[in-house]
Amino acid sequence: METAQAIIQMNHIVKKYGRQEVLKGVTLSVNKGDIYGLIGKNGAGKTTIFKILLGLSHASGGSLSITGSQTTKELRENRRKIGFFVGNSFYPYLTPQENLRYYAMVKKIPRKQIKDEINRVLEIVSLSGVKKPVKSFSLGMKQRLGIANAILGNPEILILDEPTNGLDPQGIADVRAMIHRFNEEFGMTVIVSSHILGELEHTADRFGIVNEGIVVREITQDDLKNKEQAIEIAVDDLERAKELLEAGGVKVLREIEEKSTLEDFYFRLIGGEEA
């Protein structure tokens, strides 16, 4: 089973905000060396999954293991192996170097190594020598600085929450190339989310499809290659759905009953076409 080599294992994770259950029993496994793509429309629960992984939010139920942790103490220690990008909030009046110096101290990177480490990560994201305050940065530059911050200290596991959000095609391609480099050259296990399947189609090796607080399916790159031939959907109005699908050039082969949504299908289709 995959569990043996899983670097992250989430089992039946539930998260409630008041009465609202935003995660309804998420089970997923990420293996060492994976580039794992977490796909789902906005509001599906991707960020909540990340927050729970990072310990920024507490699960209401279920279990989580990171690099084989068995206890809460080990879980807390092993979380230090994770670098993350969950938004790009920096001190606007500070330069990239000053911002990263702050985060390097938070991460307890030894003082003597901080300068070299900051230079290393800024070089990787092509921001070397940029001395202006972050408030004058373009969105693309902010995203890159966010990624530099995430890889500060060369973490074993890297979490990137929608790192391509709002980027132009060149920016998206740059992020994709960086992810491959982190994985291949630095040996990082990468978990990256997007609401557009097509953006991750050529980046990730495995995917978790999140919908309404559940990982409805985990698939591999190989499964994805056959996706047009094997999509299962469940709808309220079957006749109307068939009409719409057939009008869009999709052949309906057989009717089944399973919990998934037409919207899911829609996003897969749109994402696939954009790639």
87 binds ligand ADP (CB under 6 A): no
The reply on whether position 47 binds ligand ADP by CB under 6 A is yes
Question: Looking at 7, 36, 46, 141, which residue binds ligand ADP (CB under 6 A)?
Answer: 46
Window of 3-11, 36-44, 72-80, 241-249 that interacts with ligand ADP by CB under 6 A: 36-44
Minimal distance, residue 210 CB to ligand ADP, in Å: 6
Residue 67 binds to ligand ADP (criterion: CB under 6 A): no
Closest CB to ligand ADP among residues 22, 204: 22
- State the number of binding residues for ligand ADP (CB under 6 A): 10
40 binds ligand ADP per the rule CB under 6 A: yes
Secondary structure of the chain in HEC code, one letter for each residue = CHHHHEEEEEEEEEEEECCEEEEEEEEEEEECCCEEEEECCCCCCHHHHHHHHHCCCCCCEEEEEECCCCCHHHHHHHHHHEEEECCCCCCCCCCHHHHHHHHHHHCCCCHHHHHHHHHHHHHHCCCCCCCCCHHHCCHHHHHHHHHHHHHCCCCCEEEECCCCCCCCHHHHHHHHHHHHHHHHCCCCEEEEEECCHHHHHCCCCEEEEEECCEEEEEEEHHHHHCHHHCCCCCCCCHHHHHHHHHHCCCCCCCCCCCCCCHHHHHHHHHHHHHC
Selected from 6, 28, 44, 150, the binder of ligand ADP by CB under 6 A is 44
Residues 2-31 that bind ligand ADP (CB under 6 A): 17, 22
Instruction: Give the range of 27-35, 38-46, 179-187, 237-245 binding ligand ADP by CB under 6 A.
Output: 38-46
Which one of the spans 37-45, 99-107, 116-124, 248-256 is the region binding ligand ADP (CB under 6 A)?
37-45
| 47 versus 149: smaller Cβ distance to ligand ADP | 47
Residue numbers of the site for ligand ADP (CB under 6 A)? 17, 22, 40, 42-48
